[in-house]
Amino acid sequence: MKDIPKNIKLRSRRINKTIKGSIDNIVINKRLFNRVANHYDSLLVKYWMKKFNKSVLGLGFKKESRILDISCGTGELLLELQKRGMSNLYGIDISEEMLNKARKKLQASNEESQHLTLTKGDVHELPYPDSSFDDVISTEAFHHYHHQEKALSEMKRVCKQGGRIIIVDVDFGIFNPLLVKLEPGCVKVNTKQEMVNLFKEAGLRDYEQKKEFIFSFMTIARK
Ligand SMILES: C[S@@+](CC[C@H](N)C(=O)[O-])C[C@H]1O[C@@H](n2cnc3c(N)ncnc32)[C@H](O)[C@@H]1O
């Protein structure tokens, strides 16, 4: 009997720490990307981001597919999908400043026949009903998510049965742990095997991986 109150205290302290860690991480990421949004589309960053988006664009999409770009940032991938005539595009990001940039860019080039929705929100609690999208994408952002299993399960939840989950993230090999130390808001950079494990645990099927750019790889699977 004596142990019970002690255990409860310990567990709640641990839970509090986890919740605090999650809130801190969201705040750090929001602050960081709100601050850099104005410079994000500079030539160098654009060049870097294009490398990540290239692998996704190479996959091919049906024109009428409902596509969700999670952590869409300033909307570069959505812009490319828009140019290719995709008519059902959704973007979500926690940074309002990144979204403002995306809004300006995408609204200017959006055709009347194309549907585009940009929403402020967190990957860990996606504000969409189950089975809403044919393709659920995240590029150059997964390492910022503080609870990667939860993020992936949310991506799976909003994906239609048979739809695709597509994640492209950074890969600096043996220097991955260094990125966690150096980049604010970076939680964990996964190896290819770790990513496969996450996909397996999430119950995704037909997964495959592609490496087209030396500093990234893509993992794709179906729900
Ligand atoms: C390096 S940028 C990549 C942006 C874009 N995908 C691209 O390739 O240009 C990372 C993005 O992830 C977003 N982000 C970080 N944590 C997030 C979270 N918990 N939920 C949604 N977006 C998040 C940031 O606001 C930022 O826009």
Per-block average pLDDT, block size 10, for the chain (223 residues)?
A: 42 54 87 93 84 92 96 96 93 97 88 88 98 98 96 98 97 91 92 97 96 93 98
How long a stretch of residues is the chain? 223
Tell me, in angstroms, the distance from the centre of ligand 1 to residue 62's CA.
25
Structural domains in the chain (count): 1
What is the model's pLDDT at position 18? 65
**Closest CA to ligand 1's atom 25:** 95
- Cα separation, 159 vs 141, in Å, equals 18
This prediction's pTM = 0.91
- Cα separation, 98 vs 178, in Å, equals 26
**Closest CA to ligand 1's atom 11:** 71
The closest-lying atom of ligand 1 relative to the alpha carbon of residue 146 is 19
Provide the CATH number for the domain around residue 45.
Answer: 3.40.50.150
Of 94, 100, 182, 213, the residue with max ligand 1 atoms within 8 A of its CB, to mutate for a pocket test, comes to 94
Of 90, 139, 144, the residue with max ligand 1 atoms within 8 A of its CB, to mutate for a pocket test, comes to 144
What is the model's pLDDT at position 7? 45
* 169 within 8 A of 141, measured Cβ to Cβ: yes
Tell me, in angstroms, the distance from the centre of ligand 1 to residue 6's CA.
40
Tell me, in angstroms, the distance from the centre of ligand 1 to residue 5's CA.
41
Closest CA to 76 of 41, 113, 100, 27: 41
Name every protein residue with a CB atom under 6 angstroms from any ligand 1 atom: 26, 29, 33, 49, 52, 71-73, 76, 93-95, 98, 122-123, 139-141, 144-145
Q: Please give the angle made by the CA atoms of 110, 156 and 148, to the nearest 5 degrees.
A: 100
Tell me, in angstroms, the distance from the centre of ligand 1 to residue 211's CA.
21
* 209 within 8 A of 184, measured Cβ to Cβ: no
The closest-lying atom of ligand 1 relative to the alpha carbon of residue 151 is 19
**Closest CA to ligand 1's atom 10:** 141
**Closest CA to ligand 1's atom 27:** 73
Tell me, in angstroms, the distance from the centre of ligand 1 to residue 4's CA.
42
In three-state secondary structure terms, 169 is strand
Supply the range of the domain harboring residue 62. 3-222
* 168 within 8 A of 216, measured Cβ to Cβ: yes
